[in-house]
Chains A and B, each alone.
Chain A
Amino acid sequence: MYGFEALTFNINGGYLEAIVRGHRAGLLTAADYNNLCQCETLDDIKMHLTATEYGSYLQNEPSPLHTTTIVEKCTLKLVDEYKHMLCQATEPLSTFLEYITYGHMIDNVVLIVTGTLHERDVQELLEKCHPLGMFDSIATLAVAQNMRELYRLVLVDTPLAPYFSECITSEDLDDMNIEIMRNTLYKAYLEDFYRFCQKLGGATAEIMSDLLAFEADRRAVNITINSIGTELTRDDRRKLYSNFGLLYPYGHEELAVCEDIDQVRAVMEKYPPYQSIFAKLSYGESQMLDKAFYEEEVKRLCLAFEQQFHYAVFFAYMRLREQEIRNLMWISECVAQNQKSRVHDSVVFIF
């Protein structure tokens, strides 16, 4: 019942919405980032972060600090918050929350499979996995030799199983295959998530379709740019685009035939929402594109909080925190490697 969420939403979702809005209030502000950017050492960063909500997670770390520790602890906080919310959630919110993690799950699967392909140690790989995308038998991924086995042995138990139906081949795994698998999975995941949100209806569907469409379009652009100059055929490329979003279907046709970044740009500038993103970039440049997309995403995610009684705030909060952790990682890396002039290159202010 669109427009009538206010009547019933708070029965199950009110408490969690309050919690997530409270968490959002704890996101670092521009003032925090300004202070962080002035830090001289990682200890300074730790000291500043102990004054924020990260305090209790960092205060017990011994002093020669590493960037990985900071990131790990910050992620731990996010995971703790997520788990707390998941425990409290009822249907359909709990399914919605689970959907948020599938993206990480796909990334983890790809990470492990690629890692084993290059004969890395499984334990080492597991440490690199995003904790939100962990599932029980993730370590067993190393056993699989090809996609069919991958599916039959491990993934059939996970929520990713249905997404796999499109990419089961008996080919041996190689880098190219894996990358295609990642994108196919992601496509299936986004489409499924999109359908799920549509089913939920109301403000959730409205806001989530906007956010997911942006995500799908961004992936389409990235796929196009990354596949320029590879042996991926146009049809294959076309198949990797998600079947929704602003670019669907005509933009996809045009993107599929792009040969260089300026052609992509020409395609994207036909779409007013993306015009502003590309307007910031000079011709032939694709380095800053990621940041521009992130900035746009953050803007949209923040807008999700303007409306009440919908689930998109959970999605938005998780994404914003992830962005914040990315920012912290970048700042810490810059500080650790004495590259402070580059601090602002990749930090996306949230507020």
Chain B
Amino acid sequence: MERFIDNWPPMDLMRSEKMTLVQLIVPVESAHRALSYLGELGLLQFRDLNADKSPFQRTFVNQVKRCAEMSRKLRFFKDQISKAGLLSSMRPVMQPDIELEELEIQLAEHENELIEMNANSEKLRQSYNELLEFKIVLQKAGGFLVSSGSHAVSERELNENVYSNNDYVETASLLEQEMRPGRSDQSGLKFISGIICKSKALRFERMLFRATRGNMLFNQAPADEEIMDPVSYEMVEKTAFVVFFSGEQAKTKILKICEAFGANCYPVPEDITKQRQITREVSSRLAELEATLDAGIRHRNKALTSVSIHLAKWTNMVRREKAVYDTLNMLNFDVTKKCLVGEGWCPIFAKTQIQAALQRATIDSNSQVGVIFHFMDAVESPPTYFRTNKFTNAFQEIVDAYGVARYQEANPAVYTVITFPFLFAVMFGDWGHGICLLLGALVLIARESKLSAQKLGSFMEMLFGGRYILLLMSLFSIYCGLIYNEFFSVPFLIFGGSAYKCRDTTCSDAYSAGLVKYQDPYPFGVDPSWRGSRSELPFLNSLKMKMSILLGLAHMNLGIILSYFNARFFHSLLDIRYQFVPQLIFLNSLFGYLSLLIIIKWCTGSQADLYHVMIYMFLSPTEDLGENQLFWGQRPLQIILLLLAIIAVPWMLFPKPFILKRLHTERFQGRTYGMLGTSEMDLEVEPDSARQHHEDFNFSEVFVHQMIHSIEFVLGAVSNTASYLRLWALSLAHSELSTVFYEKVLLLAWGYDNLVIRLVGLTVFAFATAFILLMMESLSAFLHSLRLHWVEFQNKFYHGDGYKFKPFSFASLTEDED
């Protein structure tokens, strides 16, 4: 038997990959190339040998800084390209590889060019804006100030303008009163015209009013065109204004306020012919500038396009270089300063690949000395590495979310692949809903290559990541739905006719006297005749409840058996004898016996009350079972089982800590010296490594620990079994809920002979099915299934205190970004 187990073919997922600590001694000249090859391979996890140094004290800090600077430039280009509205997703053209130094120079050139162009275009844009604003002010303010020879006329016209253009009736009349005496003083009235952001106009006006104590007239008109802000490249709405005031002091104040508000003032001549002349001039210069600006933008876009072709490649390259230097920073210089020494973890199977890569690096960099690569002894526990594929990955994620497996521990993910979707389906059994899920899963899988390339939302990404889980869940729920015989809660006669029929042809007493069985039982699943009968619920409940217990017990036993394989693997006879055996006995003598009773009851059709049997097994084990006896010899068997269970508890509690104590005292008997570690190792041990400390054996701690474990298991045996009843509860809830939607919504609406009501009923039914049953119910079933795996199953054997293998790999680099 033992040999048989040992000879099993190895399976990748059963246990994590065998890892080993390796040391690399790389000559400086080939170090960079060697690491980039390793990064492409992605199977070596480097240990940080310089953890005590701060980032800028490390060897390759300058290169890292240069890379950071380059990636900053690349981000700048990306930003500029997206601002210019160019598409950066062009197919990269094949081009010769360039060196990092070359790239750095190129990037600097491009950046300088771009900055210069930006500065130029900004200057142009500014003068363009000024002219544009001037033009607007001329147009708008000109309306306010139509002047001809005499002031009187100008004022009258001005007032008329005010009347016609604005609704400032009161202000205008006020002005009229104030201005009349001013008519004698010809130079009394002055004005300033300008333009200001629309959002600031109101506050500007208020401020002007306050500063001049109301002795001013503010006219404004919104500009027809929006003006681009040269800094943020956003279009801003502006308002042209004209302020009339009198007095020199007011003028300085108003000018200061204009400055403070960022309002640009432009002089507008009062003379209308002059105005026209200036307007013409401005317009022509505007046209000129526009042409220049356009040419500038075209030039800039061309430059940006030439950058954007290479952008993706460059970004990738810089990112890789940075990763290589970051990793190089983890290496140590050896004494001669000619070699770099690195340590890391790699899976044993990758040895040849890594050696080949290093060989290649040596040859390619014309190095005199090859890279030395050898295994080392490790004190700390290696990282956990599972080679998953796209199918098993999601299941491994489910397990890892609870805790990463200890190195080489039995991996529950293998069993989770089937048990997880199956337990889900037990709660979600309905083949109609199952088909809906299946369609969804198939869509996701069919568009796999397309979807994996693009960015998805967080919800969609989760769904996509779990597409194979979804597939299996849907298949199993179709299977369970066929057993429950529910299609959107409607039973179908798929596997032949029902085993029951009415007593007579009228079927009048079907509800009072029931049906009679007239042929063999329905071949697969639940007989459709149960549906709608008075005894439907009691029958289904009893069925599902018992089924849950059977499934739960099988699941938990699997967990305990896995703990045996774990103990075997780690050669811990102690755990097998004093943990695995009593646990198995305890669980099965109580709940295994219950399962046995359930099966016997199903097979024999007995009327025995199982509650009674189980309860009185504890209360009065010697008493006669009476009519609840299911088989011969049940009573002595019960007594034996009970005794076994009682023995099992101290069995798992006491021996282990005492034996451990004895072992410890034996090991250190007569020794006055502590264990000597090899001196080399001690020097290199990191303070926070997961090194196992043998030093102190604290008996009370071990004992308390064992006590907690035993109590947890004994109580857990009851509570975990009860916990599996959630399978029944959720399945019941699901079928009842879908019955309600089917009968109370769809059938009710169908009862009316009205198309509208029927349609409404159909929509409500469809939405309820989609959102409540397919989304919320499946989520809840998912979570419950998750819990059953994490708690009830995994606490039997899973430690989950390992850490993940994170190899230095360029492939994972691209995933991290963005």
Interface check A326, CB cutoff 8 A:
no
Interface check A260, CB cutoff 8 A:
no
In whole Å, how far is B69's beta carbon from the nearest beta carbon of chain A? Answer: 5
Asked if residues B54 and A122 are in contact (CB atoms below 8 Å), the reply is: no
With A43-B65, A48-B55 known as contacts, the answer to whether A143 contacts B72 (CB < 8 A) is no
Interface check A80, CB cutoff 8 A:
no
Asked if residues A122 and B57 are in contact (CB atoms below 8 Å), the reply is: no
Interface check A38, CB cutoff 8 A:
yes
Asked if residues B69 and A63 are in contact (CB atoms below 8 Å), the reply is: yes
B245-260 Cβ-contact flags toward A at 8 Å (1 or 0):
0000000010011011
Asked if residues A48 and B54 are in contact (CB atoms below 8 Å), the reply is: yes
A59-92 Cβ-contact flags toward B at 8 Å (1 or 0):
1111100000000000000000000000000000
Choice from A38, A59, A140, A152 contacting B260 with Cβ under 8 Å: A140
Interface check B602, CB cutoff 8 A:
no
Choice from A44, A47, A60, A143 contacting B257 with Cβ under 8 Å: A143
Q: Which residues of A contact B262 (CB under 8 A)?
A: 139
Interface check B210, CB cutoff 8 A:
yes
Asked if residues A47 and B55 are in contact (CB atoms below 8 Å), the reply is: yes
Q: How far is the CA of A39 from the CA of B61 in the complex (A)?
A: 12
Asked if residues A142 and B256 are in contact (CB atoms below 8 Å), the reply is: yes
Asked if residues A40 and B56 are in contact (CB atoms below 8 Å), the reply is: yes
With A48-B56, A153-B210 known as contacts, the answer to whether A139 contacts B260 (CB < 8 A) is yes
Interface check B76, CB cutoff 8 A:
yes
Q: How far is the CA of A122 from the CA of B68 in the complex (A)?
A: 36
Q: Which residues of B contact A153 (CB under 8 A)?
A: 207, 210-211
Asked if residues B75 and A136 are in contact (CB atoms below 8 Å), the reply is: no
Asked if residues A47 and B260 are in contact (CB atoms below 8 Å), the reply is: no
Interface check B578, CB cutoff 8 A:
no
Asked if residues A140 and B261 are in contact (CB atoms below 8 Å), the reply is: yes
Interface check B705, CB cutoff 8 A:
no
Q: Which residues of A contact B123 (CB under 8 A)?
A: none
A136-165 Cβ-contact flags toward B at 8 Å (1 or 0):
110111110000000011100000000000
Looking at A39, A62, A140, the one whose CB has the most chain B CB atoms below 10 A away is A140
Interface set, chain A 30-59, CB cutoff 8 A to B = 35, 38-40, 43-44, 47-48, 50-51, 59
Q: Which residues of B contact A142 (CB under 8 A)?
A: 256, 259-260
Interface check B744, CB cutoff 8 A:
no
Interface size on B, residues (CB 8 A): 23
Inter-chain CB contacts under 8 Å: number: 60
In whole Å, how far is B189's beta carbon from the nearest beta carbon of chain A? Answer: 22
Asked if residues B65 and A143 are in contact (CB atoms below 8 Å), the reply is: no
Asked if residues B54 and A143 are in contact (CB atoms below 8 Å), the reply is: no
Asked if residues A122 and B259 are in contact (CB atoms below 8 Å), the reply is: yes
> Who on chain A is nearest to B260 by CB?
A139
Asked if residues A143 and B69 are in contact (CB atoms below 8 Å), the reply is: no
B38-71 Cβ-contact flags toward A at 8 Å (1 or 0):
0000000000000000111100010011001100
Q: How far is the CA of A122 from the CA of B54 in the complex (A)?
A: 43
Interface check B203, CB cutoff 8 A:
yes
With A59-B68, A136-B203 known as contacts, the answer to whether A143 contacts B253 (CB < 8 A) is yes
Q: How far is the CA of A152 from the CA of B207 in the complex (A)?
A: 10
Q: Which residues of A contact B54 (CB under 8 A)?
A: 35, 38, 48
A108-124 Cβ-contact flags toward B at 8 Å (1 or 0):
00000000000000100
> Who on chain A is nearest to B57 by CB?
A38
In whole Å, how far is B250's beta carbon from the nearest beta carbon of chain A? Answer: 11
Q: Which residues of A contact B259 (CB under 8 A)?
A: 122, 139, 142
Q: List 29 A-B contacts (CB under 8 A).
A: A35-B54, A35-B55, A47-B55, A47-B65, A47-B68, A48-B54, A48-B56, A50-B68, A59-B72, A59-B75, A60-B76, A62-B69, A63-B69, A136-B203, A137-B203, A137-B207, A137-B260, A139-B259, A139-B261, A139-B262, A140-B207, A140-B260, A142-B256, A142-B259, A142-B260, A143-B211, A143-B260, A152-B210, A153-B211
Given contacts A43-B65, A137-B260, 11 further A-B contacts (CB under 8 A): A38-B57, A39-B56, A47-B61, A47-B64, A48-B54, A59-B72, A140-B257, A140-B260, A141-B260, A143-B257, A153-B211
B residues whose Cβ falls under 8 Å from a Cβ of A: 54-57, 61, 64-65, 68-69, 72, 75-76, 203, 207, 210-211, 253, 256-257, 259-262
